[in-house]
Structure 1
């Protein structure tokens, strides 16, 4: 039974990861999800959060993502991120700009569904800030 699979993390700017991994933890919309070899085929949306990658050689790496979706098959996983950056390259200004834009959008929202979606997004950004920015 294979214990490794191919993982790709792609943002509009560049390919951040492409290689053999033993596990990936992704911030799926319905909750954190661990992907391993032979995972059932799944497609899920991604919320703002941290992707943790455990490579086949044992080293680990983390990336901050802002939405997107993941396509998972037994032999691989591709995460297409709206935006992604290595956690070491992350800047708190990225969250601050997104929070400000979301608050502006919230002030202009006309339906309850739209307001709820923006409020949920703001909560996710607040949680992400607590995870990647030291207090």
Structure 2
């Protein structure tokens, strides 16, 4: 009778151990897939939005990626970074570190010389104008 009780506990311990190892592997893989981003510039656009420019690096053999976000103006940087981690999408992704931009009322004018990976000019209350060239 005692061997049967130990046998049942062994399966319970084994299933809990497998669940814990699976959860640990999921958290490690999730952290490796996320590229750490740091805010390099923040500027208010009108009373509704804030322009955030972040820089992220995927490693020593790749160039830095600069991402441009529009985020509600009343939120903090901590909330912004949490939303980025949860999948908040940038409107511009580029490897060009010297993007020239100007802000006039509720419009952003961007001049990019280099590679653009993503651009979306639908941003609600803010108009986005892009002038791009490959060199």
| TM beyond 0.5 | no
TM-score by length of 1: 0.30
TM-score (norm: length of structure 2): 0.30
Between structure 1 and structure 2, the one with the greater Rg is 2
